[in-house]
Amino acid sequence: MLRHLRITVDGKPYDVVVEDMTESGGSLYPAPGVMPPVTAPAASAPAAPVAAPRAPVAAGGSNDRTAPLGGTIQEIVAKVGDVVKTGDKVIVIEAMKMKTSVTAHKDGTVSSIAVKVGDAVESGQVLLTIA
């Protein structure tokens, strides 16, 4: 006997058709080597939610230091007004339990910091500006 059922998996309902083998006297298990037919969810099942597209990352100018990879801001070493030299560590990003030091790309003074500890950043996102 075929039965139409609705099941919910992780909060998402699906309409399915199943064959109840116990009422027709059949076995609960298929014969060896025989696969039971697979039925796709009915068309009335809701579509999986689609993630909203992310906003594009702003391109940095020549004074901007951008993130070399996506991750989470772990530490901000520099402060606005600090004088830095090329190669000085200014920010630490953590990605996949690995810490990456971001260094100053030029000599100058830190004029602004666009992130804070705990922020998630994407590759190419502006972190700070050195004037």
pLDDT of 53 over the 60 cut: no
Q: Retrieve residue 22's tokens.
A: 């116990």
Q: Retrieve residue 83's tokens.
A: 């004088």
Domains, the chain, in order of start with CATH, read 1-47 (no CATH), 64-130 (2.40.50.100)
The rounded distance, in Å, linking the Cα atoms of 40 and 78 is 56
- Predicted TM-score (pTM) of this structure: 0.55
Is the separation of the CB atoms in 1 and 17 below 8 Å? no
pLDDT level of residue 13 (50, 70, 90 thresholds): confident
Amino acid residing at 131: A
pLDDT of 130 over the 60 cut: yes
pLDDT of 83 over the 70 cut: yes
Helix (H) / strand (E) containing 75: strand 71-76
Is the separation of the CB atoms in 41 and 18 below 8 Å? no
